[in-house]
Structure 1
């Protein structure tokens, strides 16, 4: 079955060619590919700490490859007039970048910018923000080094007040180093590979999320950590650029009315209670806006009141939201795009995937060894989609990390938690996936990492080892098995371990049934096409695909009824390169599902879980989307709606 409309290609490319930039034809495009334009991602990129004064630096930059020795000095005397135009944000290897340059290791990216006149006031500071650069970034402003950052998934910023001219043009240079999986390197990189193969994909190099500036006062709010529980208790920590000062906090309810005001010192933990808040859950994703003032600085944020925990229900260890057992069912969500690779073409495109999942009745996504832009997690908060957040893995196989590489992995793991622990939708952290980069001789680092996670963030669960090398750490016993589930059951297979009743049983990956499509909807890279037959199971037509889906979900339902299964992750949201086992094809144009069948089978999972507990009624996956509905049609013009 096909979804959405047909696309008229090349319209924007003809316009953008005049500007010197145009989309390079990717191996596969999407409906959004030629709609991106030269002002991509115009949205404010940081919804949990938002200010009114900001300037987006996305758009057309200049790019050239570089040598390692160039990192120490910006090429101020070099004209980039003949360098390639590149779209920021994008992966240099992607079609959307306009260069589609494969396996870049060192690169320069540069642009000019001006500072708004009203920002050039005494006592104001100018912050230069990067949402993500893969992998290392050395930043120069007007030839002076502003700072250095390592880690391809994390946001960072520099105070560039003393480097900029407020009455003229400034030059910004970013030197990028990205070794990916080169020998001698083992770093958090997820599924990126310089030589992709089936479940490993084309790498991403460069500035792949938004770049922007903001004006702040001398003493300003640098960071907010917020948690709010089912009893209305709010805990907040605020990092500022100055010393101890007084904060004014307002919690805003419906129609913009303040329902709670609180004053506190910036020094230490801030605690207060909101009476009888509407709780956040997948069924009712209620959010409250926040306003925080510190002297001349005022930011807005939001939170949701919810408590995630584990506990025994009728003798079985269960995950709890707001004190009640919930069965969580979702997809392995890899977040790759054929035109943008790591970077979705737009927020609309990114959210479309989530809308499809929510409309089918799913209540969760497992964000698989990748970290998304902040607007992804905001959308999950708003829609009521739970998120299992994986740490991006190191190299799989025999290339285990040395002491320095392990320390760097752990440093970046802590950054992931620090930067994402205020999103209500995230309810579980994953340390290791299927043993990739996991040390298993001498000691088991997941025990220490789990303890550190609980210390840093006691409000969530930890899936220490999703699949394979499970030594007993964390809140979950997580089984991976294709295609059939083995969830909390008295049977298991090689590489898995027997169910541990002291922990929550989850089927961390299963399904994976595939269905090949015509070349029109495939990633047109010969190696990827040749490896399609490595898919766990190939069904020759959609009738067989949907029959197998029904059979596997029925099997899962029976394991919920008989055993200790508390959640499951179906592989996967979309096809990716040589993998053809998504609900959606890689270009998002075909949905393989018989919608009514799958919605009924998914609801049956929740009903089975409810039947095991008798605790409460009415768990559903389809809530919180208002009037959103998506239309699909079969090849024989039989229409359906969901």
Structure 2
């Protein structure tokens, strides 16, 4: 019997094998001389004296502790620097520790870091001697009351307003820990940008013995530059490329830039990766490398069963990227989390686009806003080189702003200030200052809307696209619904900024969710004004079962829906408001005329013919029937322009069945698929309802 990836991680922790043994930063490679510190540490907290497995949070089963609401813990272990590192500098790295970490070596304070999602490092050269064992201690504080600190989806006590969509906290060391040997003067930070499309802009910040006046070399095969650092230890320049090769989802070409400082045995060397690509807005369009981009995205919260926010292994990170692509998506919105660099590197390597965003606090205060902004430099420094990241997010749904940008100048100013801080750090990507609604300073107008009634959804999506309305209802609590607006101020421009939906989805069961996915997505594709969408969500998380996949990344019963068809470059848009999941149309079906549009987001026009045929109920939707096919005439479809409707004459049908609809191109290849289920539409059972709760036609057979 094969084990799931989560079970493999648990077995590793139980047997003493080092978990997450791979080098943690493939995008900034120093794997020639490094030492993982993952594995067993001594742990002490509130009467607990035990082993703990790093890098898993102490709430997780994989850690061996599995305790929630511990607010303080101390980690200890022995470390021996390899003798061959003599003469080099030693740097202790932490992928992430929630929330405050104080590090000591042999009792001496090394440093302190506050912020639960950022990577950080300490130069510990003066504290370690090659070949000699030293005691490393990490004291961690993780407040149960997280309201004023960045914590995203981690549950807090007192509870957040959004506690119903919060999960088990992630406390303590929850990302890899490792030690590196570096040169006596070394590149502490390397920034690479390729938005010129003709070369790689390189910025290096030095640390160590001689930061001023040091020679810094940056090279790729066939091209190099030599720089000299200034008094502050900074050096910058551009590697010009004679034959630049752009990075794109279709051709995710990466450049590996070797940055070296100094010469001989004391020299420093790191290999960082990036790509040549430019993401920008032009009016209401997103544009990638000069071509229009339509976002077909999925929201991913980056949780795993039994390991929480920490991936059980590197393969789990890479597999999630592959699964998102198999579902038809070209972008992943990584929600309220700095994701593992291995995941981001895999996105770079495979061409998956990324919307990246930090975690946020839940209550507004000056201190909370400052804590939120304080993590942004670390986010850009760590992740800014990734060409896959095409959108930066900031606040989410006014969390940390008390759901009140429109009613509070101070809260609106906090959102604007966060935008300005991030824009000063990185001017190469669009920024969303408050995802969901109430925009005051943003490069994108994104909106979150959950609506169970498809007729209402269809009309709302149309009205929001046309500009007839700006508001939509948002259920913030069981008895608390607010009309939220695209805009948080009267001065925000109503045109000229790209608009996209960045959260939607409905349904109680997996069948209902797949049904809503089909019909809600097609309505978004009906309106060419939109720049894309992001479905909620990729996989289940604890009690939240809204995922296309289970928490273990297994597929669900989608009732014949193939998500890759729904999210394809070319899709069919049907002029029909369906009845309900499993019964898009009621039986018996009289012959009718079905209007079919084509939404095509390729780079050139497409000649198609729409066809349809009845098949038995429950038939596979990716098999073309052999008989009973009805067809339309040929239709030329232009990119990013919904085609006119063609009429498909649907034959009558007495009993249940599945109408398969597909489009073929000039070669006869199928380029788009859709389907309709015909079945009896049974009135809902409301026996025993309180008087007045249900009014409608009598259910057959009822007295």
TM, length-normalised to structure 1: 0.79
Could you give the per-residue CA deviations for residues 310-364 of structure 1, whole angstroms, max 9, x where no partner exists?
A: 103xxxx111100111101111110011210111111111221211111222110
Q: Check the 8 A contact 2:522/2:572 in 1, yes or no.
A: no
Q: Distance in 1 between matches of 2:41 and 2:430?
A: 42
* Alignment correspondent of 1:407: 370
User: Any residues of structure 2 matched to 1:527-566 within 5 Å, and which?
Assistant: 537-539=507-509, 542=511, 544-560=512-528, 564-566=529-531
* Alignment correspondent of 2:535: 570
Distance 1:594 1:422, change over 3 A: farther
Q: Check the 8 A contact 1:248/1:263 in 2, yes or no.
A: yes
Distance 1:479 1:150, change over 3 A: same
Q: Distance in 2 between matches of 1:34 and 1:640?
A: 38
User: Any residues of structure 2 matched to 1:477-556 within 5 Å, and which?
Assistant: 477-483=445-451, 484=457, 486=461, 488-490=465-467, 491=469, 492-494=471-473, 495-498=483-486, 500-511=494-505, 513=506, 537-539=507-509, 542=511, 544-556=512-524
The CA deviation at 1:275 is 2.2
* Alignment correspondent of 1:61: 41
Q: Check the 8 A contact 1:115/1:166 in 2, yes or no.
A: yes
- Please tell me whether residue 141 in structure 1 is matched to residue 110 in structure 2: no
Q: Distance in 2 between matches of 1:233 and 1:309?
A: 18
User: Any residues of structure 2 matched to 1:228-627 within 5 Å, and which?
Assistant: 228-229=194-195, 231-241=197-207, 242-251=211-220, 258-267=221-230, 268-295=235-262, 296-312=267-283, 317-395=284-362, 399-401=363-365, 403-438=366-401, 440=405, 441-443=408-410, 444=412, 445-471=414-440, 473-483=441-451, 484=457, 486=461, 488-490=465-467, 491=469, 492-494=471-473, 495-498=483-486, 500-511=494-505, 513=506, 537-539=507-509, 542=511, 544-560=512-528, 564-593=529-558, 597-603=562-568, 616=604
Q: Check the 8 A contact 1:224/1:236 in 2, yes or no.
A: yes
Q: Distance in 1 between matches of 2:200 and 2:320?
A: 32
Q: Distance in 1 between matches of 2:432 and 2:40?
A: 41
Q: Distance in 2 between matches of 1:412 and 1:340?
A: 24
Secondary structure, in 3 states, of the residue corresponding to 1:404? helix
Distance 1:204 1:614, change over 3 A: closer
Instruction: Pick the aligned partner of 1:44 from 10, 20, 23.
Output: 23
Structure 1: give runs of 5+ residues left out of the alignment.
Answer: 1-5, 10-28, 68-81, 252-257, 514-536, 619-635
Q: Distance in 1 between matches of 2:504 and 2:393?
A: 17
Q: Check the 8 A contact 1:232/1:273 in 2, yes or no.
A: yes
> Who wins on radius of gyration, i.e. which is larger?
2
Q: Distance in 1 between matches of 2:205 and 2:520?
A: 48
- Please tell me whether residue 205 in structure 1 is matched to residue 162 in structure 2: no
Q: Check the 8 A contact 2:361/2:400 in 1, yes or no.
A: yes
Normalized per residue, which structure has more strand? 2
The CA deviation at 1:30 is 4.2
Two-structure CA RMSD over aligned residues (Å): 2.7
Secondary structure, in 3 states, of the residue corresponding to 1:96? helix
* Alignment correspondent of 2:186: 220
Q: Check the 8 A contact 2:526/2:599 in 1, yes or no.
A: no
Q: Check the 8 A contact 1:327/1:606 in 2, yes or no.
A: no
Secondary structure, in 3 states, of the residue corresponding to 2:548? coil
Q: Distance in 1 between matches of 2:46 and 2:107?
A: 17
Q: Distance in 2 between matches of 1:232 and 1:213?
A: 36
Could you give the per-residue CA deviations for residues 88-129 of structure 1, whole angstroms, max 9, x where no partner exists?
A: 0001000000110111101101111111011123xx211111
Secondary structure, in 3 states, of the residue corresponding to 2:372? helix
Report the more deviating stretch, 130-139 or 430-439.
430-439
Secondary structure, in 3 states, of the residue corresponding to 1:275? coil
Q: Check the 8 A contact 1:226/1:235 in 2, yes or no.
A: yes
Q: Distance in 2 between matches of 1:594 and 1:238?
A: 53
Q: Distance in 2 between matches of 1:577 and 1:283?
A: 34
Distance 1:320 1:370, change over 3 A: same
Secondary structure, in 3 states, of the residue corresponding to 2:273? strand
Secondary structure, in 3 states, of the residue corresponding to 2:485? coil
Q: For CA contacts below 8 A with separation 6 or more, give which structure has more relative contact order.
A: 1
Could you give the per-residue CA deviations for residues 258-316 of structure 1, whole angstroms, max 9, x where no partner exists?
A: 1322222234431232123221111221111111121111111111110011103xxxx
Distance 1:604 1:125, change over 3 A: closer
Q: Check the 8 A contact 1:132/1:210 in 2, yes or no.
A: yes
- Please tell me whether residue 164 in structure 1 is matched to residue 131 in structure 2: no
Q: Distance in 2 between matches of 1:63 and 1:141?
A: 16
The CA deviation at 1:162 is 1.6
Distance 1:575 1:489, change over 3 A: farther
Q: Distance in 1 between matches of 2:108 and 2:559?
A: 58
